[in-house]
A = this chain, B = another copy of it.
Amino acid sequence: MDKIARIDMGAVGGPKITVAGLGEYAGLGGRAMTSLVVAAEVHPLAHPLGAENKLVISPGMLSGTTGSMTGRLSVGCKSPLTGTIKESNAGGQAAQVLARLGYAAVILEGKPAGDDLYKIHISKDGIRVIVDNSLKLLDNYPLIEKLRMEYGDKVAYMSIGSAGERKLLAASIACTDPELRPTRHCGRGGVGAVMGAKRVKAIILDDSGMKMRPPRDPDRYRDANRKFVEGLRKHPVTGEGLPAYGTNVLTNVLNEAGGYPTNNFKTGQFEGGARISGEAQAELEIRRGGSATHGCHRGCVIQCSGIYNDKDGNYVTKQPEYETVWSHGGHCGIDDLDTIARLDYMDDNIGVDTIDMGVAIGVAMDAGLIEFGDREGAIRLMAEVGQGTPLGRILGSGAEITGKVLGVERVPVVKGQALSAYDPRAVQGMGVTYATGTMGADHTLGYAVASNILKVGGDVDPLGTEGQVELSRDLQIATAAIDATGMCLFVAMAIMDQPETSQAMFDMLSSHSGQTMTPDLFSELGKKVLAAERDFNTRAGFTKAHDRLPRFFYTDPLAPHNIPFLVKDEDLDRVFDWER
């Protein structure tokens, strides 16, 4: 990872490739790379779909090594959904392969004038940008099938479906998993629309002939990795809950806590919750010959993924994540796993964020377009997204636009991005993250559910305001740093509770780079990333007035606890107060 490739898609005479050293970006990876590049190089008022925006693709600092859990790929740009800076990361194989090819970043710049569609091939022999109009408007599954005929199975694919080509604001970028299914998505913020605006349909990453990235101190790295894996295996969340039931283990937990947003955030408990829980899902998956335990990339020891088959044992989709099961399930009043799995497949295939997509459908239900609980209706609406009909385009533009176009007042978004499966009135710490996060509402920016509900990393009363700002702040800083390493965010569960696991991660970073990583330096890294993101957003016009939840969270109490969001504005404004 000693070079950066820039591909100017708008160059006169066709795309122009420039490969150079790291310069000022040396040592960065993942979100640290994408956010620092975007903050430094993209005009804050650029149109997200215009030539001035850049799409920065970067493996994490440890990606491509023998280290476990290091397979996250970051994609960054100015978001067409939120107008903020954006980093969206995914699992799958792409990060490992790109890192082994030596690229700390591949940056798509400019915008071609014509209608041609391109694919980009990256291997040890260099980078080729190839016109391939035969791929036009293919969705991700058939697209990957077609590309596999040409490039085989020993590569990793990144791609956009029809949604990305149509520049829908909820469009995602898919990364293939070890079985070459386009199931791991950089989902949020419309990064797929930016790739579509640059007319890049797919990126083929071939690391044949390349080796694992060697650490500076191989023995110490191996040792640290072993301790790190031990730590993950012994923690109840990463060693038991996630492997057995996947992320959907949370449905019953949140439902019981009264923090499960139901029927577009009208109540905090869903009657049909148990029927779509992780426990029910795992039982069904195993019974149908699928799997409830599966890794989204090689080197994963948590194995929170799975395989969802239909009643005849045929593959439907990967195991839907908790947030997906919620967005298409409880949020829409739907309590049927087969419907949800079908919608999950359609999301992945069309290439849209499952969260903003599901939330948009729930908002459309609130507008009276279809009834809450209408399974066939939800599938019909999703099909329109894939067809690019006017209604499909509305929904594919995400929850905020759907609310505006359909005249709905109750629209659960911050900075234009949909909230996810934790109601901020019953998980107040999560509300702090939703409100103040640098990229709009996003649970992964500072997962306060940990200490509010799971009692990981501490115990903070989810219904109270005390300690929530500090919790969200600490998590946002730590997350920004973890997102730079290439490590899956779930490692945080073990790290927060087990000092020896935390130390093992620092040892991995130190022995890999040869520069000692300490908790303080790690925190500095996180703060540096957040500062760059906040600076970009300020220049783009974002103020503390945007660090607020929609008004209905303040005015409408949520059953069963019957309280509104309670954290005061002046406390929200303290989240980033180290900046002062």
Contacts and interface: CB of A to CB of B under 8 A. Distances in A.
A81 to B, nearest CB: 9
A394 interface: yes
Contacts of A546: 541
Given A44-B545, A389-B390, A409 B50 contact: yes
A552 interface: yes
Contacts of A401: 401, 404-405
B407 A168 contact: yes
Contacts of A49: 407-409
A542 interface: yes
Contacts of A50: 409, 551-552
A47 B394 contact: no
Interface string A449-489: 00000000000000000000000000000000000000000
A130 interface: no
A551 B393 contact: no
B405 A45 contact: no
Contacts of A406: 393
A394 B408 CA distance: 14
Contact of A47 (B44, B80, B409, B539): B409
- Of the four ranges (under 10, 10 to 19, 20 to 34, 35 or more), the interface on chain A belongs to 35 or more
Nearest to A411: B47
A199 interface: no
Interface string A36-49: 00000001111101
A77 to B, nearest CB: 14
Contacts of A188: none
Contact of A409 (B44, B197, B397, B409): B197
A543 interface: yes
A495 B409 CA distance: 44
Interface in A162-193: 166-169, 193
A573 interface: no
A411 to B, nearest CB: 8
A389 B544 CA distance: 37
A543 B169 CA distance: 24
B551 A47 contact: yes
Interface in A22-55: 43-47, 49-50, 52
A115 to B, nearest CB: 10
B409 A404 contact: no
Given A390-B391, A407-B193, A45 B548 contact: yes
26 contacts: A43-B551, A44-B545, A45-B545, A46-B551, A49-B408, A49-B409, A50-B409, A50-B551, A50-B552, A80-B404, A166-B407, A167-B407, A168-B407, A169-B404, A193-B407, A197-B407, A197-B409, A389-B390, A393-B405, A394-B394, A397-B404, A397-B405, A401-B401, A401-B405, A539-B545, A541-B543
Interface of A: 43-47, 49-50, 52, 80, 166-169, 193, 196-197, 389-391, 393-394, 397, 401, 404-409, 411, 539-546, 548, 550-552, 555
Q: State the 10 A-B residue pairs at the shortest beta-carbon distance, nearest first.
A: A167-B407, A541-B545, A390-B391, A390-B390, A49-B409, A50-B409, A541-B543, A393-B405, A47-B409, A397-B405
